[in-house]
Amino acid sequence: MRWKRILGISAAVIVVLIVTAYIIASSYDYNKFKPRITALAKQYTGRDLTLGGDIELGLGLSPTLVVNDVTFQNASWGTRPQMAQVKRLEVQIELLPILRGDIHVSRLAVLNPEFLIEIDKSGKSNLEFDVPEEPEPKDVEDKPVDGKQDFLKFKEVQIEGAAFTYNDLQSGKTEAISIENLQLKSPEFGAPVGIDLKFTYNKTPFQINGDFGQISGILDPDEQWPLNLTITAVGSTVSIAGHITNIMAVEGMDFKLTAKGPDIANFQQITGEPLPVKGPFDVAGHLTAATLESFKISDIAILLGESKISGEIALSQKSPKPQIDAKFHSQKLDLRPFLKQDSSDSETETKPKKGDTKSNKVLPAEPFDLQALDQVDATLSLRADQILTHRIALDKFQLDLSLKDGHLIIKPLTTNVGGGALSSSLDLLAKGNNANLTTKITAKKINLGEMLKKLEISQGLDGIIDLNINFKGQGKSVAALMAGLNGDVVAILTESELPVQYLNLVGGDLTTSLMKMVNPFGKKIERAQINCAVCDFNIKDGLAKSDVLMIDDPEKTLLGDGTVNFKTEALDFGIHTKPKKGLGTKETGKVSVSLGVITKPFKLGGTLAKPTLGISPERAVKTLGSALVGSGSLASLFVSVSSGKENPCAEALKIVGEGTPKIPAKSGKEKEQKGTSEKKEEEQKGASEKKKEGLGTKIKNFFSTPKE
């Protein structure tokens, strides 16, 4: 039939055309394109591109161009001539889309490529090209064909045996990544691209799987470019799922982030440094960012070892200073793995070597570096049901912090410690490197034994602490700040047991003297029992004066007073040891005998760095004189002890309640001697209320009834 003949002729013509095209294509010398290709590379990079092998063509419905031995020149200062070299490059292109003005790459294969990224000593990268400054031709602006932005599409990219090297000549560090295989594959042109990457970094194998949008999405600022990746290494998994609206400008990010693994310590294989924490971890968060200038991570959930943290953090760089706002809550925050434990915590104390030298000062004189406080503004809210460190366990922790223009305010900081309560505030104003500091700390009924049980520490240390601190000072170093310090410190310890081994921490000679004070009769003891210890320091212009310093145990009472000069770090204390047992007369009780047989008159002198403690009758006479002749705190306390009372703690608290400076004279009613215990308690209450900066009436309850 006629139509069959027409069809046969048409088929024959097509075959002839294909054969003719094949003969022409196969006989064409594609190496003629080499000069043009290398010239374009030189024009846009200023460096030489060398095509060592011939350009070959593999014919078919998808022709394949093959190039061997391709090299690209490195910067002139580079450590090797080539920045990149490829053993074999194959590009397979669909024919029909070319007729529509599109380029559809069916397959791009790169075999054994080597890439070198370098930073010179000035910080310049070899990715910065020295392009010749020539006037660019006024080409017609590229416009999408028929409004399309997806004229360039890839269906498959294959890279095998690749090596990436990063060489930083500034730091001297070199990092290498070896790619076993990288495959980017799309089921059809225009669909998301799947990724399968296997590589090795720092001798650690990594694998990345997932998918992301087509290349055309990178060029379209209005198209959401999806990104879903899963990274696996050292038995752990990191996942990223979401999209970027404008990938070229890095805008419109919305990602959900997760990371989990059986042991975070395994990351040591990547970092090369041991991590402070071990155990399973699970981290999640939701990252959103309109631009890189402003982003937020919400729905934070962190499980790390025994710690659990939730919250959110936001960063804005729209103002001259970055603004950070963070809110966190933790059911349990165990900081012990992250904090270095003092050597004194160990059972065996390392003795100093003969050649070791000790600084003459304890207070650091190095200038403060407070510039960081003026580099960022921030607010922080932290709530924790429990916080654990090596030395302290905190419950119901609350912290509110603000930092604005170098002004740091922490108010309040409250927590429960050992069944008691602690509250604190801090106001630090940084002007240059000068710190203006005001801080207050109040602790009530903190049970050391209960706190140590929560830390699972069994060291036999027990006692109840009450503390009140008020400090105000300024300076450009710790030493300068302390030299002009003003404030008040009141501390009370009751019902305490102290292992004698703790005395070994202060040094050999001082330890021997302390042992004589703690154990004057030479008994074999492992624990020192303390009924109470009371001290009251008033600080003015760096001079801390102790109105009251007393330690009472079942066998004796230590009385003292003195000063700490923070300007010179000099110590000057007189300490007297008086046994509870003694002989006297009916007229004088035990006063006369005690004055003659003060068993251990000590002087604590030297400096904070090198304290000295020894027997000093001269210092004892000085303090005894002020005690007997004067009418102040130590005098009344000394009479209380010498009168034979088994526990002078109540009197000591009364003195602490009075404090210094001296209070106005009491009214006639207050001067009236009261014979009953109820009248004495009222007198103590009246004195405590007049204390300007003390512990208050509640703490007095510890001592209202002396122990038998």
Q: What is the DSSP string of 4-67?
A: HHHHHHHHHHHHHHHHHHHHHHHHS-GGGGHHHHHHHHHHHHSS-EEE-SPPEEE-SSS-EEEE
Pick left, alpha or beta for residue 606 (phi over 0 → left; psi -120 to 50 → alpha; otherwise beta).
left
Q: What is the pLDDT of residue 504?
A: 47
Distance CA 45, CA 607 (A): 69
Which tens digit of pLDDT belongs to each residue from 635-658?
455 444 444 444 567 666 666 654
CA 89 from chain centre, in angstroms, equals 48
Give the chain's radius of gyration (CA, Å).
40
Distance CA 635, CA 136 (A): 96
Please list, in sequence order, all residues whose beta carbon lies within 8 angstroms of the beta carbon of residue 89, skipping any fewer than 6 positions away: 66, 67, 68, 70, 109, 110, 111
Q: Give the whole-angstrom CA distance, residue 311 versus residue 289.
A: 17
Q: How many helices (H) and strands (E) does the chain have?
A: 15, 31
Residues 6+ apart with CB under 8 A from 74: 47, 80, 81, 82, 83, 116, 118, 126
Structural contact between residues 150 and 216, judged by C-beta atoms closer than 8 angstroms: yes
Q: Which residues pair with 465 in a beta bridge?
A: 446, 493
Answer whether 304's CB lies under 8 Å from 281's CB: yes
Termini Cα distance of the chain: 132
**Separation of alpha carbons 599 and 519, rounded Å:** 12
Percent of the chain at pLDDT > 90 equals 31
Q: Which of 140-144, 247-251, 700-704 has the highest mean pLDDT?
A: 247-251
**Beta bridge mates, 197:** 182, 208
Three-class secondary structure of residue 647 per DSSP:
coil
Torsion angle in degrees (nearest 10) through CA of 666, 668, 670, 671:
90
410-444 pLDDT, tens digit per residue, is 988 999 988 899 999 999 999 988 999 999 999 99
Q: For residue 219, what are the contacts with CB-CB under 8 A and spacing of at least 6?
A: 149, 248
Q: What is the pLDDT of residue 544?
A: 94
Tokens 């910080």 belong to 123
Rounded CA separation 575/532 (Å): 16
| pLDDT at position 149 | 47
Q: Among the ranges 89-93, 155-159, 186-190, 384-388, which has the highest mean pLDDT value?
A: 384-388
Long-range contacts of the stretch 97-102 (C-beta < 8 A, 24+): 100/145, 101/145, 101/151, 102/145, 102/148, 102/150, 102/151, 102/152, 102/153
Residue type, 263: D
The set of residues, in sequence order, having a beta carbon less than 8 Å from that of 129 and lying 6+ positions away, is 44, 45, 46, 47
Say what the pLDDT of residue 13 is: 45
Q: Above 80 in pLDDT, residue 687?
A: no
DSSP label at 125?
B
Average pLDDT score over residue span 296-307 = 92
At a CB cut-off of 8 Å and minimum separation 6, what does 88 contact?
A: 66, 67, 68, 109, 110, 111, 112
Nearest partner of 434 among 406, 474, 376, judged by Cα: 474
Pairing outcome for strands 600-606 and 611-615? antiparallel
Write out pLDDT tens, residues 564-584: 999 999 999 888 777 765 433
- Residue-wise burial string across 117-134, b where 16 or more C-beta atoms lie within 10 A, e elsewhere: ebbbeeeeebeeeeeeee
> What is the predicted pLDDT for the residue at 552?
82
Average pLDDT, the chain: 75
Q: What is the pLDDT of residue 283?
A: 96
- Residues 57, 25 contacting (CB under 8 angstroms): yes
DSSP 501: G
526-562: pLDDT as tens digits: 667 788 888 889 999 999 998 778 888 777 788 888 8
Tell whether the model's pLDDT for residue 129 goes beyond 50.
yes
Cα 183 from Cα 656, distance rounded (Å): 78
pLDDT in tens, 136-160: 544 444 444 444 445 456 678 889 9
| Confidence tier at 686 by pLDDT (50, 70, 90) | very low
**How many CA atoms within 13 Å lie on the side-chain side of 576?**
28
Tell me which of 337 and 228 has the higher pLDDT.
Answer: 228
Print burial letters for 496-530: b (CB count within 10 Å at least 16), e (below 16): bbbebeebeeebeebbebbbbbbbbeeeeeeebeb
Nearest by Cα to 520 from 616, 457, 630, 598: 598
Contact 450, 484 (CB under 8 A): no
What one-character DSSP code corresponds to residue 654? H
SS3 category, 272: coil
Task: Name which of 19-23, 50-54, 111-115, 420-424 the model is least confident about.
Answer: 19-23
Reported as a pLDDT band with limits 50, 70 and 90, residue 672 is very low
The region of weakest confidence among 54-68, 81-95, 419-433 is 54-68
Mean pLDDT of 608-624: 68
The pLDDT assigned to 339 comes to 73
Taking CA atoms, 171 is separated from 78, 552, 623, in Å, by: 15, 60, 63
Q: Specify the residue for token string 């999209």.
A: 243
Alpha-carbon distance of 172 to 174, in angstroms, equals: 7
Q: Beta strand pairing status for 152-154 and 103-111?
A: parallel
What pLDDT shows up at residue 348? 42
- The pLDDT of 24-46, averaged and rounded, is 72
pLDDT greater than 60 at residue 240: yes
Cα separation of 402 and 379, whole Å?
4
Angle 260-285-226 from CA coordinates, rounded to 5°? 95
What angle, rounded to 10 degrees, do the helices at 633-642 and 649-658 form?
A: 170
Distance (Å, whole) CA 597 – CA 520: 13
Closest of 532, 448, 535, 531 to residue 491, by C-alpha: 535
**Whole-structure pTM over 0.75, yes or no?**
no
Look at residue 577 in the predicted model and tell me its pLDDT. Answer: 76
Q: At what angle do helices 677-690 and 649-658 cross, to 10 degrees?
A: 30
Looking at per-residue pLDDT, the higher value among 489 and 677 belongs to 489
- In whole angstroms, what separates CA 658 from the centre of its chain? 43
